[in-house]
Chains A and B, each alone.
Chain A
Amino acid sequence: MSATIDRGLNALREQIDSPVASFFSSCVSCGLCAEACIFYRATEDPKYTPIKKLDLMRRVWAREFTLFGRIGGMLGLIKPVTDEDLTEWETLVYDSCTMCGRCSLVCPVGNDITMMIRKMREGMSAAGHAPVELIGAAQRHTDKGSPMGDLSKAIHAQVKHAIDETGIEIEFDKEGVDYMVILSAQEIAEFPDVLSAMARIFKKTGVTWTISSEAFEATNVGIQLGNRDVAKVLVSRVVEAAEKLKVKGIISPECGHAYQALRWEGPNLIGRTYPFEVVHIIELLDRLRAEGKLKTKGKNTDRLTFHDPCQINRRGGINQEPRNLMNMVSEDFVEMESGGTMNWCCGGGGGVGANERAEKLRHAAFKFKKIQIDKVEPDAIVTMCAYCHHTLDNVFEEFDIEQDVIGLTELVAEYLDDDA
């Protein structure tokens, strides 16, 4: 079995539903989605107009899902989609879209373009038009448990390190605790301090938790790839592990698409609701704060700003929670222009960060993002997504910019009131 255009078009057909049909019916090609798109705004190249990235899907819909389109197709007015088309669109669909969702919020007729890009990628990936890096990551994740390969040793080492650092016991595979914590590969490899932070906060707030040695990887490259079969395999591992451990919930870590994958797509991928809750770490921290369990002492006096990860705020619904926490621990918290729901993407999401071919475009997008940051001139940028953190760190390095980026969980842990 190998990827073919027929398989791709078939996958695309499966994706077309009422919302898609209404979106294509409603588009008046006003081009406002372009004004919202970081890739268009950074390059001002009209080919990056979001709705144009969906033209192939529109054609399949028109030709096969509408009476007038069928007639138009017979008359040769709407051309069938060819493999050459898919090749041409591959870069548009994968390289110039982080699925950040800004376009979906500005479209005057309410088209959820981002959701359609996600669907479009189903067809592209099934047809063999996904970027090699994402395919490689999917293979590593499927075979070895993480997109970076086998991180079993690494997670054990990091947990041990956290135990040593905090003196708090962290147990693997402990049944019946409140939460199962999963982490993104990025956190395990790059930002392991989050483990110590969580250990300290949960200890203080009385939350019991564990890590599954079988399913500790939170990311899901199937979502970025746009392949629900792959995504289903990966999400099932986490769901099954949680069910095995009989936890009340899973804590989705500081990772954008992991939250999207587990919280919003997961139940639909496996076709059933979860017997446990999925809560984002920041959501949980804010809940603990509201309940009075999470207490902090003192405040950071630096000029801090907050970078909203697209998949967690705009596409995930977590907007006020991090702000409550920011105000709790920061004295000089300054919002960026368009901060919050309309925040500009870091440029690395949706698989773009892993895609080498997209590097130039990513850098162009960052220059645009940087304008937003420069207006605030923060001492540090706080965020709640390890991949945003990673992307920002990398581009700052690339452009020789001194700029601290901090994870919100760590920042909160720093001001944890140890006496309370």
Chain B
Amino acid sequence: MANTPMLAEMMKTHGISRRAFMKYCASLTSLMALSPALAPRVAEALENAPRPSVIWLSFQECTGCTEAITRSHAPTIEDLIFNAVSLDYHHTLQAASGHAAEEAREHAMKQHYGKYILIVDGSIPIKDPGYSCIAGISNLDMLKETAAGAAAIVSVGTCAAYGGVGHADPNPTGAVAVSEIIKDKPIINVPGCPPIPVVMTGVLAHFLSFGIPELDELGRPKAFYGNSIHDRCYRRPFYDKGQFAEGFDDEGAREGWCLYKLGCKGPTTKSACATVKWNNGVSFPIEAGHPCLGCTEPDFWDNGGFYKPLSVPAGDYRDAGLAAVAGGAALGAASALLAKAGKTKAAQAHETVDAHDLEKSS
């Protein structure tokens, strides 16, 4: 596959007008929290960007990320971005299979060594690499091998970014994130279970136009993961007013009140869900009446229960409380009896005094 065709040509082939393209660039610019003045630069960058080779590796995953990105808003402009890249390997999407498929990967790696983008979804088992293999190659080996020649890695989905469900307690496969294995390449984490499609494409667009975007301490592009869902949630006023749904079918739920008490993790979850939304901006989980699970955060599976409010302790605190009652009762009784014994001893040692007995001898 050649990397010569430019985006402009691709547009023409796909019947996309220049106007539609510019509109896309403008919305992308605002999505990336860049100044609107930069929109033409985004357009220019995209137009002139050579079509890079992309290798997409899927490890321990559910294909949800792929499902999300492919079903996103097709056939829309996001789709275009995928046409703007040369997706040389993606075992769910590619036509080739077996040896032909692996050859495609090896070919792309060789041809674009040092320049291709590696996208990973899924976690990597390291307890026994044999837990997950493709074409007889363990995920671990395939990642190391493929990463070696990558210009950058995009870890798509929470599994690749932070280990995800595979990494959840008790983590039987010893699943880890890409960043646990690859330390010498720039890694952009695009977590979410799955991530918002437009965020995935937006990150790619940013990478194509400006390179690696500014990342937070968790490797997430700040443009998309800068704010908590809670801060941008349209139900926030209900939280502030103290109006909460207490069940999924109560009056509060019907009125669309805050879902905090139903376990919403919005306050501790950074994602663009509440602003960008899903399905072409139609809705997002909270709008659909379900509390946020916090899927863009590491270990969100183990955060004490999806339906437990954030303020509720995550552990088995009742056991601790009962143990404390028993322990406290035992220690308290022992200490009190010791004190009482001391008092009894004092009473026994009491010397009856009289008025002539109240002065010190010396």
Do A's and B's CB atoms come within 8 Å in the complex? yes
Contact assessment for B355 and A139 in the assembled complex, using a CB-CB cutoff below 8 Å: yes
Which of B339, B346, B358 is in CB contact (< 8 Å) with A3?
A: B358
Segment with Cβ contacts to B, from A61-69, A194-202, A356-364: A61-69
How distant is the Cα of A331 from the Cα of B355 in the complex, in angstroms?
A: 47
How distant is B330 from chain A, measured CB to nearest CB, in Å? 11
Which of B343, B349, B360 is in CB contact (< 8 Å) with A16?
A: B343
Which of B332, B354, B360 is in CB contact (< 8 Å) with A4?
A: B360
Which chain B residues lie closer than 8 Å to A13 at the CB level? 342-343, 346
How distant is the Cα of A70 from the Cα of B339 in the complex, in angstroms?
A: 10
Residues of B313-362 whose CB lies within 8 A of A: 331-332, 335, 339, 342-343, 346-347, 349-361
How distant is the Cα of A219 from the Cα of B350 in the complex, in angstroms?
A: 25
Contact assessment for B335 and A230 in the assembled complex, using a CB-CB cutoff below 8 Å: no
The residue in chain A whose Cβ has the minimal distance to the Cβ of B350 is: A14
How distant is B332 from chain A, measured CB to nearest CB, in Å? 8
Contact assessment for B347 and A66 in the assembled complex, using a CB-CB cutoff below 8 Å: no
Contact assessment for A142 and B353 in the assembled complex, using a CB-CB cutoff below 8 Å: no
Contact assessment for B359 and A142 in the assembled complex, using a CB-CB cutoff below 8 Å: no
Any B CB within 8 A of the CB of A10: yes
| A128-B360 contact given A14-B346, A230-B354, A233-B354, CB 8 Å threshold | yes
The residue in chain B whose Cβ has the minimal distance to the Cβ of A140 is: B355
Count of chain B residues near A, Cβ 8 A: 21
Which chain A residues lie closer than 8 Å to B361 at the CB level? 2-3
Which chain A residues lie closer than 8 Å to B346 at the CB level? 10-11, 13-14
Residues of A1-25 whose CB lies within 8 A of B: 1-4, 7, 10-11, 13-14, 16
How distant is B310 from chain A, measured CB to nearest CB, in Å? 32
Which chain A residues lie closer than 8 Å to B354 at the CB level? 142, 229-230, 233
Any B CB within 8 A of the CB of A126: yes
Contact assessment for B342 and A229 in the assembled complex, using a CB-CB cutoff below 8 Å: no
How distant is B133 from chain A, measured CB to nearest CB, in Å? 59
The residue in chain B whose Cβ has the minimal distance to the Cβ of A130 is: B358
How distant is the Cα of A70 from the Cα of B331 in the complex, in angstroms?
A: 13
Which of A16, A70, A135 is in CB contact (< 8 Å) with B358?
A: A135
Contact assessment for B339 and A64 in the assembled complex, using a CB-CB cutoff below 8 Å: yes
Contact assessment for A135 and B350 in the assembled complex, using a CB-CB cutoff below 8 Å: no
The residue in chain B whose Cβ has the minimal distance to the Cβ of A138 is: B355
How distant is the Cα of A1 from the Cα of B359 in the complex, in angstroms?
A: 10
Any B CB within 8 A of the CB of A227: yes
Which chain B residues lie closer than 8 Å to A345 at the CB level? none
Any B CB within 8 A of the CB of A225: yes
Which of A14, A66, A230 is in CB contact (< 8 Å) with B355?
A: A230
Contact assessment for A128 and B343 in the assembled complex, using a CB-CB cutoff below 8 Å: no
Contact assessment for B356 and A139 in the assembled complex, using a CB-CB cutoff below 8 Å: yes
Any B CB within 8 A of the CB of A125: yes
Count of chain A residues near B, Cβ 8 A: 31
Contact assessment for A227 and B342 in the assembled complex, using a CB-CB cutoff below 8 Å: no
Contact assessment for B359 and A2 in the assembled complex, using a CB-CB cutoff below 8 Å: yes
Any B CB within 8 A of the CB of A389: no
Which chain B residues lie closer than 8 Å to A142 at the CB level? 354-356
Contact assessment for A138 and B358 in the assembled complex, using a CB-CB cutoff below 8 Å: yes
| A128-B350 contact given A14-B343, A65-B342, A66-B335, CB 8 Å threshold | no
How distant is the Cα of A142 from the Cα of B357 in the complex, in angstroms?
A: 12
How distant is the Cα of A80 from the Cα of B195 in the complex, in angstroms?
A: 66
Which of A7, A11, A64, A128 is in CB contact (< 8 Å) with B342?
A: A64
How distant is A5 from chain B, measured CB to nearest CB, in Å? 9
How distant is A71 from chain B, measured CB to nearest CB, in Å? 10
Which of B335, B347, B352, B358 is in CB contact (< 8 Å) with A128?
A: B358
Any B CB within 8 A of the CB of A58: no
Which of B331, B335, B358 is in CB contact (< 8 Å) with A227?
A: B358
Which chain B residues lie closer than 8 Å to A135 at the CB level? 355, 358-359
Contact assessment for A229 and B353 in the assembled complex, using a CB-CB cutoff below 8 Å: yes
How distant is the Cα of A148 from the Cα of B161 in the complex, in angstroms?
A: 93
Residues of A212-245 whose CB lies within 8 A of B: 225, 227, 229-230, 233
How distant is the Cα of A95 from the Cα of B288 in the complex, in angstroms?
A: 76
The residue in chain B whose Cβ has the minimal distance to the Cβ of A141 is: B355
The residue in chain A whose Cβ has the minimal distance to the Cβ of B360 is: A128
Contact assessment for B349 and A10 in the assembled complex, using a CB-CB cutoff below 8 Å: yes
How distant is B47 from chain A, measured CB to nearest CB, in Å? 73
Residues of B268-293 whose CB lies within 8 A of A: none
How distant is the Cα of A7 from the Cα of B361 in the complex, in angstroms?
A: 13
Contact assessment for A1 and B342 in the assembled complex, using a CB-CB cutoff below 8 Å: no
4 residue pairs, one from A and one from B, having the closest CB atoms: A13-B346, A2-B361, A138-B355, A128-B360
**Could you write out 11 A-B pairs with CB less than 8 Å apart?**
A2-B361, A4-B360, A13-B342, A16-B343, A64-B342, A65-B339, A67-B335, A70-B335, A125-B358, A130-B358, A230-B355
Q: In the complex, given contacts A67-B331, A229-B352, what are 12 additional A-B residue pairs having Cβ atoms less than 8 angstroms apart?
A: A1-B353, A3-B353, A7-B353, A14-B346, A14-B350, A65-B339, A70-B335, A130-B358, A132-B359, A138-B355, A141-B355, A143-B355
